[in-house]
Every structure is written in C-alpha cells, then in structure tokens.
Amino acid sequence: MAKKATHLTAEEIQALMGDNAVEEETSNDDLVEAKRVEFAELDRDTAIAEARNSVKFLFDVPMTVEAILGSTEVSIKDVLEIAPGSVVELDKAYGEPVDIYLNGRLVARGDVVIVGEQFGVKITEILVSAEEMGVAPQEE
C-alpha cells in the first residue's frame, strides 16, 4: 500500500496548477507544508440567519416529493400475471401513515386525504429536525 505524503513538492504543485514547465531538481526548501485552519466561534442565531439568507436563491429550485403508500416484493412470474382488477398486497396496514420522501430522503409521515377529486397527504409527523434542515426552530 502506498504511503501518504504530507508535503507536496514544487513539481507536484506545478502539475496540479497545470504548469508543464517543471524544474528538474527539487530541494527540501521547495516543499510546502499544509496547516490546519482555525475559525472563530460564531453566534448560533447569527449563523442560522446568515445560512437562511445565503440559500434564498435556492427557494425556487424544484424538488421531488413522494408519498409512499407501501411496497412489496414480487417475482417476475407474479408481475407478468398482473391484470386489470388484480390486487397487489402492500407491507402497510389500512390506516397506517404513509412515508413522505423529499428527493429520496424520508422526512415525514402523514395520512392520506381526498382533496376535491385528487389524493393528498396531511402531514402528521416531521422526522427531520429543524437543525438538520438548517432552519431555526419556531418560537411559540
């Protein structure tokens, strides 16, 4: 297994920067040492407000929301036998909440409702904390 290098030579730096003109010989003076960056402490409320303002440009980005009623595993033979009127049994019982995914991530659960002539989901439980979403908790 290759040993990890802690220093880059001038030749490696130039190669990374796209400069093809490399000196033939390098000395220890040409080595660059990486140092850890230290950041000042931030006020949590200020940081949250700044984070919220910094992502405002994302507010109109479309996201996929899925409400999963249930799932099941079936064989190819069973899939080929599905016809109009067939019933596919799911892994959820009647009345159980449906899972709500946002871009493939489970974020909430809810109950199926009918809105006009369409189905909808009434959110009953949020599974992602406000901190995970980068949003300050709402004060009551």
Residue 110 lies in a domain: yes
Torsion of CA 125, 127, 130, 131, to 10 degrees: 160
Residue 40 lies in a domain: no
* Domain of residue 103, CATH code: 2.30.330.10
What pLDDT is stored for residue 35 in this prediction? 79
What pLDDT is stored for residue 2 in this prediction? 53
What mean pLDDT is reported for the chain? 80
Q: Which residue has the higher pLDDT, 21 or 106?
A: 106
Residue 15 lies in a domain: no
Residue 73 lies in a domain: yes
Taken in order 114, 119, 123, 124, the sign of the CA dihedral is positive
Q: Which residue has the higher pLDDT, 33 or 134?
A: 33
CA nearest to 13, candidates 43, 36, 35, 33: 33
What pLDDT is stored for residue 20 in this prediction? 53
Total number of domains constituting the chain: 1
Instruction: Compute the average pLDDT of residues 31-44.
Output: 77
Residue 65 lies in a domain: yes
Provide the domain limits for residue 101.
Answer: 58-133
What pLDDT is stored for residue 1 in this prediction? 46
Instruction: List CB contacts of 133: < 8 A, sequence separation 6 or more.
Output: none
Residue 20 lies in a domain: no
Residue 66 lies in a domain: yes
Residue 137 pLDDT greater than 60, yes or no: no
CA nearest to 6, candidates 37, 30, 36, 33: 33
What SS3 class is residue 4?
Answer: coil
What pLDDT is stored for residue 43 in this prediction? 77
pLDDT digits (tens, 9 = 90+) for 75-133: 999 999 999 999 999 998 888 999 999 999 999 999 999 999 999 999 999 997 766 66
* Strand-pair partners of 112: 121
